Amino acid sequence: MAALIRRILRNLLATPLKKLDFIDVYRARSFFNNHPIIFGDPNRIKIGKGVHLYNSILNTNSGMIIIEDYATIKPNSMLITGTHDFSKKGMERRDAYPRNGRDIIIRKGAWIGPGAIILGKVTVGENAVVGAGSVVTKNVEAECVVAGNPARVINRLVSDGSEPTAS
């Protein structure tokens, strides 16, 4: 089995790069599913230019997901707009969710670490960083680093060339 996998990889990697665009090359060189899984209406997703979106879950049942230019969503992240009315029971609970109003906005240049969970209604600010495995339930300011469950500010980024300050 290992020899077969090595042979397949060798053949994939030998493919001339000029015949493939970047996305095709990236997918060909990986065993993983590198495109998002979408629950809900895909027309409720807006993606800017230069976005890196890896294998993630995007749930649009309760709102829009807007990912602005040059943002990065690392593998196994979840952007979930949906929620349910837990005061209900059985089938009524399953079907009782808002259809709008829980938008998630990822601003320009933001970085969402692997395995992070972003729960709507949330905006992740411009150039903000969400640490791996974090759970974001509130807005993240621009140029901040957040981490943890729930996510909290652990650092502020600076753009004047000086050192960042820990919070």
Q: Tokens in use for 161?
A: 């060339």
Write down the catalytic residue from 84, 108, 121, 152.
84
**Residue 84 known to be catalytic:** yes
What is the token pair recorded at 88?
């209900």
DSSP state of 125: P
- Taking residue 10's Cβ as centre, other Cβ atoms within 10 Å add up to 9
CA distance 136 to 106: 12
Strands 129-130 and 111-112: parallel
Catalytic residues: 84
